[in-house]
Amino acid sequence: MNHDTDPIRTPSVVAQQIPCFQGYRETLHRRESDRRVRDKLCDLLVASKRIVDRHLARQVDQGILNCLAAGERLKSRIDQLLQTIQSNCDAPFFDSRECSDRLLSEIDAIESSLIMTSISIGEIATALPKHDTSSLETIGRLNDAVNDLTQLFAERSQRIQSVAI
């Protein structure tokens, strides 16, 4: 085997962010890889939700109530997304013998976007405590990012469900 002619494989964002991620190429690793992606997404979202919750509590303590309703709606949407991520299982994909390289690349790209969007949500949430006054604009940005994440996860599920057994 000539190592000079082998293509250099750059690890995907998912592989960089999730320890022991094996990918979906081999059927044997699909369930574990899926679980790791879901766990990572949930960990990132739960951490962001905690930051939002602490920020809202601090604002209430200071008597700033103008963004409380928007913040509570955001937390509710995050809870709904967490439930979707945790309960969504795409069994035909796990049992399928073969998947095209194109489909695997599409799933990898979507999952990379999912991870990056989740990280972005965390970064936006981290900026919340810096605001002592109304945080409506930042909560709006978080809401938009959660919408994006919800759409990406739905797209991922749709791609995975398209795999024939």
Decide: 78 and 45 in contact? Cβ < 8 Å.
yes
CA 59 – CA 157 distance, rounded (Å):
37
* Longest pairwise C-alpha distance within the chain: 69
> What's the mean per-residue pLDDT of the chain?
82
pLDDT digits (tens, 9 = 90+) for 34-50: 888 889 999 999 999 99
Cα-trace Rg, the chain: 19
CA atoms within 13 Å, Cβ hemisphere of 127: 14
Supply angle C-alpha 87, 93, 94, rounded to 5.
Answer: 80
With a pLDDT cut of 70, the percent of the chain lying above it is 75
With a pLDDT cut of 90, the percent of the chain lying above it is 43
Name which residue leads in pLDDT, 150 or 132: 150
